[in-house]
Structure 1
Amino acid sequence: MTASAMEKIYHHYSGPVFRYFYRMGGDYNLAEELTQETFYRVLVSLKRYRGESTLSTWLFRIAFHVYTVNLRSHFRSRCLPLDQDIPDMGRFGDPVRSLEKAENHQLISLALQQLPAGYRTVIVLRIFEGLSFEEIGAVLNKSPSTTRVALSRARQRYRQVYNQLANGYSD
């Protein structure tokens, strides 16, 4: 593999991989660190890629493994800091609307962080990264139908958590 080919892979997939980690853990620095670890592992194991799945599926499988290993070794807080999404408020526009938008975004992030890791993974890969059920199944070593059921349950649990948070309750 040439350096330019690896660079193309990195530029194409680093954003989605970073977003996956950020949405899974809510920590910008950790997401950067895990993204770097993922691409290091991709570089080391690229010779073993056999093309049995798409490159994105194979890469997200590595990212999922990196996240799982990190989760096991470092138990971290599952909530975002309260000021995480406030920087958008400095932009032009209605400050009340900006605050409401930031609060809603914060509520969505908090609800996502309170889901079990398996549910969070399915939601992030399907909704935010646009992977198919077949691709998510390959990442998680599950069938597409099992992945569909998991997404349905994850959405249901997400709605419950979101509504509790929106009404002022917390787990």
Structure 2
Amino acid sequence: MKKDALDEVYRLYSKQVYLYAYALCGNVHMAEDLTGDTFYKAMLALDKHVPNIKYWLLRVCRNLFFDCCRKGPKEMLPLEETVLSTGEDPLEMLLQNEKKQQLSAAMKELSQSDRELLTMFYFLDCSIHQIAAFTERTPGSIKTALSRARIRLKNILQED
């Protein structure tokens, strides 16, 4: 991979890697660190040909997260939400932000594996077979786990 290719890969996948990292750790600052470290590893692998770069980046991010977990729990910093001005109707933006905050809070109540599956399937547009290959599980077990995660998320959202 050359430097121009790394720039293109960063442009294409940085948001997805960040979202995946955030789903794993639930912390904005740690997700930023994991994303940066993931692309640092990609930079170190400039000479290597990686056949499916998106899933390679996600695997690197996941391994970095597990390395951080093994090193011991760190004090988690509070999550800070930022609102970007888009020129939309303020009331509509407020309602959308409320829904996003409810979903974010409900996702935090799920287990790490449930968050990971839901994020990969709904936000990173990964197929069942891709998730199965990535997590080294069967497609049937992924479908079952995804169904159960959706039910748990639905129950959490209904409680609120």
Q: Name the TM-score class by shorter chain.
A: 0.7 to 0.9
Paired position in structure 2 for 1:169: none
Task: Please give the secondary structure, in 2, of the residue aligned with 1:75.
Answer: coil
C-alpha distance in 2 between matches for 1:78 and 1:116? 17
Distance 1:28 1:152, change over 3 A: same
Compute the displacement of 1:29 (Å).
2.3
Compute the displacement of 1:27 (Å).
2.7
Unaligned runs of 5+ in 1: 167-171
C-alpha distance in 1 between matches for 2:75 and 2:116? 17
Deviates more, 1:124-133 or 1:72-81: 72-81
Paired position in structure 1 for 2:32: 32
Compute the displacement of 1:109 (Å).
0.2
Distance 1:140 1:104, change over 3 A: same
Unaligned runs of 5+ in 2: none
Paired position in structure 1 for 2:12: 12
Task: Please give the secondary structure, in 2, of the residue aligned with 1:160.
Answer: helix
Task: Please give the secondary structure, in 2, of the residue aligned with 1:131.
Answer: coil
Paired position in structure 1 for 2:89: 93
Paired position in structure 2 for 1:58: 56
Q: Answer yes or no: is 1:132 the counterpart of 2:127.
A: yes
Count of aligned residue pairs for this structure pair: 160
Distance 1:152 1:46, change over 3 A: farther
Aligned-pair identity (%): 25
Q: In structure 2, what residue type is equivalent to 1:23?
A: A
Q: In structure 2, what residue type is equivalent to 1:43?
A: M
**Do 1:57 and 1:136's aligned partners in 2 also have CA atoms closer than 8 Å?**
no
C-alpha distance in 2 between matches for 1:152 and 1:121? 13
Deviations 1:21-79 (A, max 9, x none): 2233343222211101111223334656563xx22222211122122222343536889
Task: Please give the secondary structure, in 1, of the residue aligned with 2:137.
Answer: coil
C-alpha distance in 2 between matches for 1:5 and 1:132? 25
Paired position in structure 2 for 1:114: 109
Computed over aligned residues only, the root mean square deviation of the Cα atoms, in angstroms, reads 2.7
Q: What is the TM-score when the length of structure 1 is the normalising length? A: 0.78
**Do 1:111 and 1:158's aligned partners in 2 also have CA atoms closer than 8 Å?**
yes
Q: What is the TM-score when the length of structure 2 is the normalising length? A: 0.82
Task: Please give the secondary structure, in 2, of the residue aligned with 1:39.
Answer: helix
Distance 1:46 1:149, change over 3 A: farther
Distance 1:46 1:2, change over 3 A: closer
Match of 1:84 among 71, 81, 84: 81
Deviations 1:70-109 (A, max 9, x none): 234353688974x625x258955253x4333322211100
Q: In structure 2, what residue type is equivalent to 1:104?
A: K
Distance 1:5 1:135, change over 3 A: same
